[in-house]
């Protein structure tokens, strides 16, 4: 069992790497995934997202905490454990990030990671339903659709934003991100479109690509400072799979640092506590953990005005039948069809708050998520300052890592969240909402002072499931990987996933991870990088 490249994790990045590297028939590629198949109607149907999230069989089941600034609470973190990884269970929202995110990476010394060099790879990966132009791609493996946003509450959200003084951007993944927008999604012909669908499944017939699912990697085998293979367990027996060129970790911002530490790569003090022999010192492994913390604001509305009126017993039966027969109707939507990127304060150079709007309200009742007549915002802090860490609980590969985000450790993060609640209330106070706005359920009309809003935020804070940064890319000595994603302390090893982001992007992470995988595939194969784009983008006046 020998391969040129071994890729660990068949998620948003791993599927792309496996497909691109195996395009060369002279390269043998092994893709190893801890989870199983991505088949099934619930995974494919966009509207079934809440049921997919609650399915423990396809989720790692991780929790962060206890969180020191949230009263010791724990926070659920949804992570896909299956072919396609989190791209097979996420909310399918397509947001690239702000161009200034990537320019910021380049300003840290990461040559070639500015937006001009990243945009060609965003374009390469996508086929946009709105057509190709200087910013958008027209023939890539990932199909991106513009949401219809036909429900009247979506229109109220957009009109209310305009009345509050904000603009509607025609394509928030094009020239200008800032403003309100009609959303875009990883949905194609009514079905979820994961990287497994876009990249891996079309490549699986290749003789030089082997996909090994339901297989947990115990450790990376490191000899004389180089990665030479992996240790897996098959049929209860440990086996070594040899690698002749590179081992590539694409296991995500939690599992990648965990696997590095289990393999003896990390902070010597941390490894010593668990009896793990040091193979290479890399003290920043597991550090610099970021996420997008957020809260929901919920309102009631009249039954007939909410999407819930179309989701009664008859409506759900219609939804299922229509989707099964035609892949159309409400079954073909994730319901997040409008959103916004806005600033809570003028001094930030680009939006620090993201909003996702739903034309219904969801509550947990008797342990189940149920919809009630209303509407809600999910709002998260896109540029937090607080940092957390991923560490080991034990040297047992089957034990979950210890995850602490340290959310709201900095006063500015808490202030921005409180200001975000006030901004959302400003949007809802506009006349466009007068005939729909009911009772404010959360945080509630009695929650008005800064102190009350701070208590609400601390008690209700969750995340957007966007962990990153735990194996930071950089040119400084402490960075875990260099600008080509090569692990600095171990030869023949790379990391290609959200863990190498030097700073989290101002958006959902999937699109940026896919761009990075496309870009780094070219570097691994020694191809000439795509020429930088000259397309302009919005900057604050």
DSSP state of 93: B
Task: Decide if 96 is inside a domain.
Answer: yes
Q: Give rounded-to-5 percent helix, strand, coil for the chain.
A: 30, 25, 45
CA atoms within 13 A of residue 148's CA, in its CB half-sphere: 12
CA atoms within 13 A of residue 232's CA, in its CB half-sphere: 22
Where among 426, 460, 494 does a domain terminate? 460
The reply to whether 138 and 152 lie within a common domain is no
Instruction: Give the residue among 531, 456, 59, 488 at the shortest CA–CA distance from 297.
Output: 456
The reply to whether 438 and 370 lie within a common domain is yes
Task: Decide if 237 is inside a domain.
Answer: yes
User: Which residues contact residue 279 at a Cβ distance below 8 angstroms, ignoring those fewer than 6 apart?
Assistant: 222, 225, 263, 264, 265, 490
The first and second tokens of residue 10, run together, are 């068949």
The reported pLDDT for the residue numbered 236 is 80
Task: Decide if 391 is inside a domain.
Answer: no
Q: How far apart are CA 101 and CA 106, in angstroms?
A: 9
The reply to whether 228 and 324 lie within a common domain is no
The reply to whether 13 and 109 lie within a common domain is yes
The reply to whether 359 and 453 lie within a common domain is yes
The first and second tokens of residue 452, run together, are 């009350």
The reply to whether 131 and 161 lie within a common domain is no
- Length of the chain in terms of residues written: 541
Where among 418, 434, 460 does a domain terminate? 460
Q: Is 42 helix (H, G, I), strand (E, B) or coil?
A: helix
The reported pLDDT for the residue numbered 498 is 98
The reply to whether 15 and 61 lie within a common domain is yes
The reported pLDDT for the residue numbered 366 is 73
The CATH number that applies at residue 456 is 3.30.410.40
Q: How far apart are CA 190 and CA 129, in angstroms?
A: 13
The reply to whether 126 and 164 lie within a common domain is no
The reply to whether 87 and 132 lie within a common domain is yes
The reported pLDDT for the residue numbered 479 is 98
The reported pLDDT for the residue numbered 303 is 92
The reported pLDDT for the residue numbered 237 is 86
User: Which residues contact residue 239 at a Cβ distance below 8 angstroms, ignoring those fewer than 6 apart?
Assistant: 1, 231, 232, 233
Task: Decide if 400 is inside a domain.
Answer: no
Of 117, 181, 407, 466, which one is the catalytic site residue?
466
The reported pLDDT for the residue numbered 186 is 98
The reported pLDDT for the residue numbered 1 is 77
Q: Which residues pair with 296 in a beta bridge?
A: 378
Domain that holds residue 136: 1-144+190-289+467-534
Task: Decide if 394 is inside a domain.
Answer: no
Task: Decide if 401 is inside a domain.
Answer: no
Q: How far apart are CA 45 and CA 478, in angstroms?
A: 43
Instruction: Give the residue among 450, 290, 333, 383 at the shortest CA–CA distance from 92.
Output: 333
The reply to whether 25 and 122 lie within a common domain is yes
| Four-point Cα dihedral 481, 483, 484, 488, nearest 10 | -30
Is 172 in the active site? no
The CATH number that applies at residue 219 is 3.50.50.60
The reply to whether 79 and 172 lie within a common domain is no
pLDDT, mean of each 10-residue run, the chain (541 residues) = 95 98 98 96 95 93 97 96 98 98 98 98 98 98 97 98 98 98 98 98 98 97 98 89 98 98 98 98 98 97 92 91 96 97 94 96 74 93 97 97 98 97 97 97 96 98 98 97 98 98 98 98 98 95 75
The reported pLDDT for the residue numbered 121 is 98
Where among 460, 483, 502 does a domain terminate? 460
The reply to whether 39 and 68 lie within a common domain is yes
> What total of structural domains would you count in the chain?
2
Task: Decide if 269 is inside a domain.
Answer: yes
Task: Decide if 259 is inside a domain.
Answer: yes
């Amino acid at each position: 069992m020998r391969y040129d490249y071994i890729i660990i994790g068949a998620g948003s990045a791993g599927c792309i790497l496996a497909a691109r590297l195996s395009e060369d028939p002279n390269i043998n590629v092994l893709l190893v995934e801890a989870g199983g198949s991505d088949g099934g109607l619930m995974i494919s149907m966009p509207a079934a997202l809440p049921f997919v999230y609650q399915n423990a069989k396809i989720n790692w089941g991780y929790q962060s905490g206890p969180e020191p600034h949230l009263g010791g609470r724990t926070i659920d973190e949804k992570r896909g454990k299956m072919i396609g990884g989190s791209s097979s269970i996420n909310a399918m929202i397509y947001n690239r990030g702000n161009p200034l995110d990537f320019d910021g990476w380049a300003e840290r010394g990461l040559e070639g990671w500015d937006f001009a060099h990243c945009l060609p790879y965003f374009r390469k990966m996508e086929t946009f339903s709105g057509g190709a132009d200087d910013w958008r791609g027209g023939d890539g493996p990932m199909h991106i659709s513009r949401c219809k946003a036909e429900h009247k509450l979506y229109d109220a959200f957009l009109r209310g934003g305009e009345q509050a003084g904000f603009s509607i951007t025609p394509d928030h993944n094009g020239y200008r991100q800032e403003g309100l927008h009609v959303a875009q999604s990883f949905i194609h012909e009514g079905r979820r479109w994961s990287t497994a669908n876009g990249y891996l499944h079309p490549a699986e017939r290749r003789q030089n690509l082997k996909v090994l699912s339901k297989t947990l990697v115990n450790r990376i085998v490191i000899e004389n400072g180089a990665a030479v293979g992996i240790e897996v367990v098959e049929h209860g027996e440990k086996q070594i799979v040899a690698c002749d060129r590179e081992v590539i970790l694409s296991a995500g911002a939690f599992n990648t640092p965990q696997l590095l530490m289990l393999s003896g790569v990390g902070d010597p003090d941390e490894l010593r506590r668990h009896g793990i022999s040091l193979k290479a010192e890399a003290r920043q492994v597991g550090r610099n953990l970021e996420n997008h913390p957020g809260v929901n604001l919920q309102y009631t509305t009249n039954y007939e005005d909410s999407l819930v009126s179309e989701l009664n017993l008859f409506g759900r039966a219609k939804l299922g039948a229509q989707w099964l027969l035609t892949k159309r109707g409400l079954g073909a939507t994730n319901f997040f069809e409008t959103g916004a990127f806005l600033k809570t304060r003028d001094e930030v150079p680009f939006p620090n708050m993201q909003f996702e709007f739903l034309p219904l309200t969801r509550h947990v009742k008797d342990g189940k998520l149920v919809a009630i007549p209303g509407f809600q915002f999910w709002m998260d802090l896109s540029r937090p300052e607080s940092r957390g860490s991923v560490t080991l609980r034990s040297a047992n590969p089957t034990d979950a890592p210890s995850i602490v985000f340290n959310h709201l450790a900095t006063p500015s993060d808490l202030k921005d969240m409180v200001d975000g609640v006030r901004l959302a209330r400003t949007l809802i106070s506009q006349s466009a909402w007068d005939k729909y706005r009911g009772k404010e359920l959360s945080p509630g009309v009695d929650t008005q002072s800064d102190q009350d809003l701070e208590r609400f935020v601390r008690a209700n804070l969750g995340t957007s499931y966007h962990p990153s940064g735990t194996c930071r890319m950089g040119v400084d000595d402490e960075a875990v990987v260099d600008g080509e994603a090569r692990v600095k302390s171990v030869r023949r090893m790379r990391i290609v996933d959200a863990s190498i982001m030097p700073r989290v992007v101002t958006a959902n992470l999937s699109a940026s991870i896919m761009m990075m995988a496309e870009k780094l595939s070219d570097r691994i194969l020694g191809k000439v990088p795509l020429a930088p784009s000259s397309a302009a983008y919005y900057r604050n006046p």
